[in-house]
Each structure stands twice: as structure tokens, then as C-alpha cells.
Amino acid sequence: MDAIVERALADGCALRDAGFHALVVENYGDRPFVRTGLSSASVAAMGVAANEVRRETGLPIGINALRNDAEAALGIAAAAGATFIRVNVHTGVYVTDQGIIEGRAAETLQYRKQLECRVAILADVQVKHAVPLGETDIARLAKDTAYRGMADGLIVTGPATGESAELEDIRRVREAVPDRRLFAGSGVTVPNVAEILRMTGGIIVGTGVKQGGKTENAVDPVAARALVIAARGDRQAP
């Protein structure tokens, strides 16, 4: 745990110093992921790491309990003082590399109410590494996620980690659901960040700010700073 926390703090502080506004803590090191039902050890470890990152960086944090344990994410968020969670499959049914995953929006919202916490739910629409069963129109999926699943914000990704979302997909989701926060969730880079931000309210980036462009590597402070400057549209240090 000492090594895990040290790495999380180093990455978090590097992103904070580069000018990022918030951080996501996730169990990416748990690969291969389970569909749902994180182990007690993973939940405990994420809670410890998330609390340390929040205290050290002073930034708002979110929790993503991979692959799709929204209940665990909410519990960790409530305990660690996080402000949002990310749910890869909030509504609908998807075929993923972990098997078939079904959205559990009702259970997630009921559990949030039970915890009496104000944690926001950011939900993916056609999440990466997954194919929907049934409805495939991204605009309809976005409406269902927002208005039937009651998600607080939406995330649009590319087909895989580090691959950019199609701008047309982002546009269609924005038009279908104009009253929710919208984020691009993969494949954001220096060349495309400004255009993506013109269509969304924010970005979630990992691979694009890692050493050597490899998702599992540590944050590269130079790459992180370059992305923030590109997002700001100027050449001034953030």
C-alpha cells in the first residue's frame, strides 16, 4: 500500500501542478477487471488512496471502480470525500471484455440516497471496450442514460483506451442532451483538445499525459502541462 499511495500522490500532484481541475482515482492496476463486485481488499485500498490524494492535492476527486461496481464507487466516495463517481455501464446492456454487463441505475441511485451523500454520477454512453445489446443509436442511448437513468453528467469515449471519440458522436450526444455536463473520456491529446473542449464541458485524460504515451506509466509533467496549455489556447504557464 505504501508504494500504491506514493505513486497515486506523485501522479495527483503532477496533474495538479500542471493545472488540472480534478482527479479520478481508479483501480486500473486490478487488470483483468471483474464485471462487478470488487474485492474487499480493492475497495479498502481505493478508499485509502483516494483519501490521501484528496488531502494532499486539495483537488476534487472522483472514483471509478472498474469494471462497473457503482455501489463500491459510491461507498468509497462517501468515505473519502469524493465529489463524483464514474460508471461505465449505468443503463442498458453491453458486451464487454469482462462479459455481459447490465446497468443498475435504480440500485445506484437508491444507494446514493441511502448514504445521504451528494456525489455526482458521471455515466458513459457507449463506453470503450464494449458493444451495446439492443439500441445502438448514440443519441437515444444518451437520452436514456440522462433522463431514465438520471445521470448527472455524460461521458463519450472512443472504442478503446487511448483512442479518441468521434467528434460526430460528441456532437450528437450534446444535441440530444443539452442540459447535462458532457465530457470526452478517452483519446484526448494536444492536437485535438481545443476542438473537443469547444463541444464539451471537460475532458478525462490518462494515456495522453503518461510517460511514453503508455496508460500504465506514471504521469509525465511536461506532457500534462502541454495539454493544459493547449486546452487554454495560449502559451502561458497555467
Whole-number Å distance between alpha carbons of 89 and 98: 12
Q: Kindly state whether residue 238 falls inside one of the protein's structural domains.
A: no
Nearest to 130 by CA among 186, 74, 210: 186
The Cα-based distances of 65 to 5, 47, 107 in angstroms read: 17, 11, 16
Q: What is the domain count for the chain?
A: 1
For residue 237, being part of any structural domain is answered with: no
Q: Which residues contact 44 (CB under 8 A, 6 or more apart)?
A: none
Residue 83 lies in a domain: yes
Q: DSSP of 116-129, one letter per residue?
A: T---EEEEEES-SS
CATH of the domain at 184: 3.20.20.70
pLDDT band at residue 234 under the 50/70/90 scheme = low
pLDDT digits (tens, 9 = 90+) for 123-173: 999 999 999 999 999 999 999 999 999 999 999 999 999 999 999 999 999
Residue among 112, 128, 111, 106 at smallest CA distance from 33: 128
Q: Which tens digit of pLDDT belongs to each residue from 73-120?
A: 999 999 999 999 999 999 999 999 999 999 999 999 999 999 999 999
Overall average pLDDT of the 12-33 stretch = 97
User: Is 70 exceeded by the pLDDT of residue 238?
Assistant: no
Taking residue 7's Cβ as centre, other Cβ atoms within 10 Å add up to 14
Q: Among all chains, which residue has been given the C-alpha cell 501542478?
A: 17
Question: So what's the pLDDT on residue 227?
Answer: 97
Indicate if the pLDDT at residue 214 is higher than 80: yes
Written as nine digits, the cell of 83 is: 465529489
Full domain range(s) for residue 13: 2-232
136 occurs within a structural domain:
yes
Residue 16 within a domain:
yes
* pTM: predicted TM-score of the whole model, two decimal places: 0.95
What is the percent of the chain where pLDDT is above 70?
98
